[in-house]
């Protein structure tokens, strides 16, 4: 970093101050990096395969620390804005403001923007980091209780260290301000997830998942970087604020090459759409989700998707300029996204209807949920000015909605995957048919899985409803997208059908000869229910309590998500 700065002719004392300041803002990522390296060493030091779990506990602590530091940053933006040195533009580390004229954005005299324009620390990225590290912590907890992971105890060390590396990538995704950084962070997440999806390398299903993931991932990130290169060719910069400035002048002077821009944006959307499994780039999702160990599936479905959304938001909001008068983006990406989202949820839901495997069904359901979240993004898109608006303005309502939805989805979806994992631990199956009569085998698990599924459907008194409620609020502020509201409402009804099938199997049907047998007779307690450890039972409530609590009283959720639009 300082290599670039030395050329900029800035006094060394100021430079040191600046580097120290910037590094201070990079602490969560630094913790993860150090944690990742240390986890590898720890893995090498521990010889006993049963003690490898220690790496998991270590990873949990690292993630908790990263979470705490991110939280600290959020608090920082709350109260101590004035502490940021003047030479940093009075904003955050990287001064950007829509009031700044375009050419000055990349001039070093305006606060070292150019050499440091890789990542940004603002409330939006911080909230994403918190969501991601929280998901990471939950997934570590899940992995420690997972039979699939435990059975391969010798390789537990690599599992948890990879998880840290993946989290690092996901931290950088929503914070990227540069096309190169976007690509690198995306690839960091992708490559680690290829390995983690294939973690059970003795299982053909898992290996197949990993292979498919690599092929799809390589293809789509190739297309994305092609799109980036066109964008670079059009604007001469890889920094998205600079791209925005150049595009704005081009649009104003009418010299913009619309065809090339359209191709570039669509190609870039391929890579990001693949990460959030949006149709038509979703084909990898069911196979990978089905084949990967359940904790990995849970991580991919929540954290990786959140990172993808952060990246997508960053790209669409910051790289593409909007008309200050009409408040419409010059390039009408909302309509592209609207079509994609309608397609995504419809395909996801209808494909889920026919699944017989719960994991695969949930994979399709996550596709549908990505579609719902894109609806919120569409509602932001139509209005693009973000700074200094009241929280009720359409764009801000959309951002609040997508964050609320992500948080609700974090608890609900992880909870659902967790219960499925606990069930699979005992019956070694994820077939809906094998869930028959499960309510008798374990009432707690059956009831909590049902509540998670009800929340995924979006029925009141669960947090899933609040997520949908806010997306409806956001999109209804854009009357031209009323059709999307109807599509989303109908899709929610369709989704009910397959979620209910699981409940039906557990509560209404009776276990019979075809139902999968338990892994051991010892597992059954005196009252006929399955034995689960105290820890695994308590862990259910980590997901269940927020699911219900935020469903009834969601003010804290809204306040938290509302942070993202302050000082944005």
From the list 115, 153, 437, 562, which residue makes contact with other proteins (rule: CB under 8 A)? 562
Would you say 188 or 454 has its CB closer to other proteins?
Answer: 454
Would you say 264 or 484 has its CB closer to other proteins?
Answer: 484
From the list 64, 234, 500, 518, which residue makes contact with other proteins (rule: CB under 8 A)? 500
* DSSP one-letter string for 267-326: HHHHHHHHHTT-TTS-THHHHHHHHS-HHHHHHIIIIIHHHHHHHHHHHHHHHS-B-TTT
What CA–CA distance (Å, rounded) separates 408 from 546? Answer: 8
What CA–CA distance (Å, rounded) separates 481 from 338? Answer: 8
Judged by CB under 8 A, does residue 90 bind other proteins? no
From the list 493, 517, 525, 545, which residue makes contact with other proteins (rule: CB under 8 A)? 493
Judged by CB under 8 A, does residue 507 bind other proteins? yes
Judged by CB under 8 A, does residue 472 bind other proteins? yes
Judged by CB under 8 A, does residue 485 bind other proteins? yes
From the list 24, 280, 391, 517, which residue makes contact with other proteins (rule: CB under 8 A)? 391
Judged by CB under 8 A, does residue 461 bind other proteins? yes
- What is the DSSP secondary structure assignment for residue 566, as one 8-state letter? T
Q: Using alpha carbons, select from 185, 341, 352 the residue that is nearest to residue 271.
A: 185
**Residues linked to residue 329 through DSSP beta bridges, in sequence order:** 322
For tokens 């670079």, name the residue. 232
Judged by CB under 8 A, does residue 244 bind other proteins? no
Tokens of 509: 């049907």
What CA–CA distance (Å, rounded) separates 71 from 12? Answer: 32
Would you say 234 or 511 has its CB closer to other proteins?
Answer: 511
For tokens 């974090």, name the residue. 410
Q: Please, what sign has the CA dihedral across residues 53, 58, 62, 68?
A: positive
What CA–CA distance (Å, rounded) separates 478 from 329? Answer: 14
Judged by CB under 8 A, does residue 483 bind other proteins? no
CB under 8 A: which stretch of 126-134, 157-165, 186-194, 466-474 binds other proteins? Answer: 466-474
Judged by CB under 8 A, does residue 554 bind other proteins? yes
Q: How far is CA 37 from CA 58, 161, 164, in A?
A: 12, 8, 9
CB under 8 A: which stretch of 20-28, 54-62, 103-111, 389-397 binds other proteins? Answer: 389-397
Would you say 79 or 479 has its CB closer to other proteins?
Answer: 479
Q: Using alpha carbons, select from 185, 406, 219 the residue that is nearest to residue 302.
A: 406
Least separation in angstroms between CB 506 and other proteins = 11
From the list 21, 283, 469, 568, which residue makes contact with other proteins (rule: CB under 8 A)? 469
Judged by CB under 8 A, does residue 480 bind other proteins? no
Would you say 388 or 392 has its CB closer to other proteins?
Answer: 392
Least separation in angstroms between CB 444 and other proteins = 11
Radius of gyration of the chain (CA): 24
Would you say 90 or 391 has its CB closer to other proteins?
Answer: 391
> Binding residues for other proteins, how many (CB under 8 A)?
33
* DSSP one-letter string for 364-379: HHHHHHHHHHHHHHHH
From the list 477, 532, 539, 564, which residue makes contact with other proteins (rule: CB under 8 A)? 477
Q: Binders of other proteins among 435-454, rule CB under 8 A? A: 454
What lies within 8 Å, CB to CB, of 487 at 6+ separation is 342, 345, 346
From the list 12, 392, 525, 533, which residue makes contact with other proteins (rule: CB under 8 A)? 392
For tokens 């809204």, name the residue. 558
- What is the DSSP secondary structure assignment for residue 533, as one 8-state letter? -
Would you say 300 or 506 has its CB closer to other proteins?
Answer: 506
Judged by CB under 8 A, does residue 510 bind other proteins? no
What CA–CA distance (Å, rounded) separates 313 from 215? Answer: 25
Judged by CB under 8 A, does residue 559 bind other proteins? yes
Judged by CB under 8 A, does residue 212 bind other proteins? no
| Interface positions with other proteins (CB under 8 A) | 390-392, 400, 454, 457, 459-461, 465, 469, 472-473, 476-477, 485-486, 489-490, 492-493, 496-497, 500, 504, 507-508, 553-555, 558-559, 562
């Amino acid at each position: 970093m300082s290599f670039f700065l030395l050329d900029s002719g800035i006094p060394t004392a100021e430079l040191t101050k600046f580097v120290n300041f910037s590094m201070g803002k990079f602490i969560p990522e630094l913790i993860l990096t150090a944690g990742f390296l240390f986890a590898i060493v720890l893995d090498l030091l521990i010889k006993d395969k049963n003690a490898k779990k220690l790496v998991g506990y270590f990873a949990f602590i690292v993630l908790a620390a990263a979470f705490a530091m991110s939280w600290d940053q959020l608090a920082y933006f709350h109260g101590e804005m004035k502490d940021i040195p003047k030479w940093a533009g009075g904003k955050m580390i990287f001064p950007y403001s829509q009031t700044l004229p375009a050419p000055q954005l990349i001039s070093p005299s305006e606060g070292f923007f150019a050499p440091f324009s890789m990542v940004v620390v603002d409330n939006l990225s911080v909230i994403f980091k918190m969501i991601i590290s929280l998901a990471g912590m939950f997934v570590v907890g899940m992995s420690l209780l997972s039979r699939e992971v435990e059975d391969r105890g010798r390789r537990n060390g690599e599992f948890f260290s990879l998880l840290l590396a993946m989290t690092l990538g996901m931290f950088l995704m929503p914070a990227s301000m540069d096309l190169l950084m976007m690509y690198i962070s995306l690839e960091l997440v992708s490559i680690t997830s290829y390995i983690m999806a294939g973690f059970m390398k003795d299982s053909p299903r898992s290996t197949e998942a990993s292979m498919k993931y690599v092929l799809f991932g390589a293809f789509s990130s190739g297309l994305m970087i092609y799109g980036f290169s066109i964008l670079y060719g059009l604007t001469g910069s890889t920094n998205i604020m600079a791209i925005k400035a150049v595009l704005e002048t081009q649009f104003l002077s009418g010299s913009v090459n619309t065809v090339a821009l359209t191709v570039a944006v669509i190609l870039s959307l391929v890579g990001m759409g693949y990460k959030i499994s949006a149709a038509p780039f979703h084909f990898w999702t069911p196979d990978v989700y089905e084949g990967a160990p359940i904790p990995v599936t849970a991580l991919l479905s929540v954290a990786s998707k959140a990172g993808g959304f952060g990246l997508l938001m960053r790209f669409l909001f910051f790289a593409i300029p909007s008309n200050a008068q009409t408040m419409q983006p010059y390039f009408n990406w909302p309509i592209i996204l609207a079509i994609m989202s309608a397609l995504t949820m419809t395909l996801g839901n209808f494909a889920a209807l026919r699944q017989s495997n719960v994991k695969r069904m949930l994979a399709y359901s996550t596709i549908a949920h990505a579609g719902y979240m894109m609806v919120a993004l569409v509602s932001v898109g139509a209005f693009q000015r973000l700074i200094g608006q009241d929280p009720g303005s359409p764009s801000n309502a959309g951002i609040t909605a997508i964050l609320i939805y992500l948080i609700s989805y974090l608890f609900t979806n992880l909870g659902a995957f967790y219960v499925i994992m606990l069930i699979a631990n005992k019956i070694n199956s994820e077939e809906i048919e094998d869930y028959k009569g499960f309510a008798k085998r374990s009432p707690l698990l059956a009831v909590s899985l049902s509540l998670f599924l009800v929340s995924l459907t979006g029925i009141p008194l669960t947090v899933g409803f609040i997520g949908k409620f806010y997306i409806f609020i956001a999109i209804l502020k854009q009357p031209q997208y009323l059709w999307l509201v109807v599509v989303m409402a109908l899709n929610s009804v369709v989704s009910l059908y397959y979620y209910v099938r699981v409940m039906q199997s557990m509560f209404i049907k009776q276990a019979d000869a075809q139902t999968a047998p338990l892994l051991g007779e010892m597992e059954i307690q005196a009252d006929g229910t399955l034995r689960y450890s105290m820890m695994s039972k308590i862990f259910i409530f980590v997901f269940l309590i927020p699911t219900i609590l935020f469903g009834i009283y969601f003010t804290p959720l809204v306040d938290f998500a509302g942070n993202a639009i302050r000082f944005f």
